[in-house]
Chains A and B, each alone.
Chain A
């Protein structure tokens, strides 16, 4: 049973806009080590982390600008999906039904908008192709042949927008997420970290002057050694570095941030805190914001806080 009391299991997919598809695929497949799954009829490329059972989690769409088209979450069943669909409508969200197969291998999706201008989706069914290179019967520890950073799975997104409380309230009140961590500037919440699992965050929001922005798409690595290797790969291939390798105060994840060839920010990280529904909300205060974001340098970095797509 999902920890979210409403049946939302995990972040399931994102669709990203990229300026050049060939460069983007090389980045996500060869540098980050995601598995390239398919190019669909409209030219979108699907990829997944090698430990994911579902067919895909990353969808790339070539466009004239970078950024996030939508972020989707998988729910436990079609019954849960139709119940949440009605709950979103009752709450006042604009809901759009996306038919099964619009993303090849994915069932019907319920897309809803949000006060911060982001589009989110829920879905119950996706083709399960299994972990890459690892069977479900008597499986070995890991598959040989992984490339680059060997990103294991899509973990979360951090999104920027103005009314992050209102968007957070949809996730909390309708979708059963809970707030695990926050950053406060007096009475004003400037960062909102939400969980639908035992992860410290499945989605996070930071207050920003522009709506609809993607700060980063994040992928899990198992160890600090993997994060260091990722930092090496970033230098070996002249990938645009943002920050790290280092640690966050919020969530205590050990992390590195960099940009894909279109300017979408990526994160790979390991470690960090865990969450259960009876945990109190962890709070960082504005006077400690440097340490909250950059635990080691303890200084705010303008690029990290202002550059979005």
Chain B
């Protein structure tokens, strides 16, 4: 699955003034958790269930192409999706991206 030569996408986290590398094929959240050795150990996005169900890893996508998987409607409504709100564990970058970390949903 993952190997030393997998593509790396750069993800800029604007409200943290920081960025991390996300290995192709991983979600934003898991990619952040598994940054390659030598990168900062800082975690910008809180990690919850990693499956789209708990709503902890809410972000707003500002730019970049990606695919996404189903995420709990309780934590991201269709209207919010249209405004770029997503759960980082369900977003799979296809190129460099720019995101903003949001508060976890109060749902």
Contacts and interface: CB of A to CB of B under 8 A. Distances in A.
A26 B25 CA distance: 20
Nearest to B51: A263
A307 B72 CA distance: 14
B28 interface: no
Nearest to B74: A65
Interface residues of B, number: 19
Nearest to B56: A307
B64 interface: no
B102 interface: no
- Range of interface residues on chain A? 20 to 34
A19 B52 CA distance: 8
A94 to B, nearest CB: 23
A242 B46 CA distance: 13
B76 to A, nearest CB: 10
Given A64-B73, A307-B56, A309-B49, 9 more contacts: A19-B70, A19-B72, A20-B70, A66-B54, A262-B51, A263-B54, A307-B48, A307-B49, A309-B72
24 contacts: A19-B69, A19-B72, A20-B70, A64-B72, A64-B74, A65-B73, A65-B75, A66-B49, A66-B54, A66-B72, A242-B49, A259-B53, A263-B50, A263-B53, A263-B54, A264-B51, A265-B49, A302-B46, A303-B47, A303-B56, A307-B49, A308-B54, A309-B54, A309-B72
A240 to B, nearest CB: 4
Query: Is chain A's interface secondary structure helix, strand, loop, or mixed overall?
Result: loop
Given A19-B72, A66-B72, A263-B72, A240 B49 contact: yes
Given A64-B73, A65-B73, A65-B74, A19 B51 contact: yes
A36 interface: no
Interface in A46-76: 64-67
B22 interface: no
A261 interface: yes
Nearest to A18: B53
Nearest to B71: A19
Contacts of B52: 19, 66, 262-263
A209 to B, nearest CB: 9
A260 interface: yes
A264 B46 CA distance: 17
A240 B74 CA distance: 20
Contacts, number: 71
A25 to B, nearest CB: 15
A238 B30 CA distance: 10
Interface in A216-268: 238, 240, 242, 259-265
B51 A303 contact: no
Contact of B51 (A64, A261, A306): A261
Contacts of A64: 70, 72-74
Given A306-B56, A307-B56, A66 B73 contact: no
B73 A260 contact: no
A240 B54 CA distance: 13
Contacts of B53: 19, 65-67, 259, 262-264, 309
Contacts of A307: 48-49, 54, 56
A19 B73 CA distance: 10
B65 to A, nearest CB: 22
A24 B46 CA distance: 24
A20 B75 CA distance: 16
Interface in B25-71: 46-54, 56, 69-71
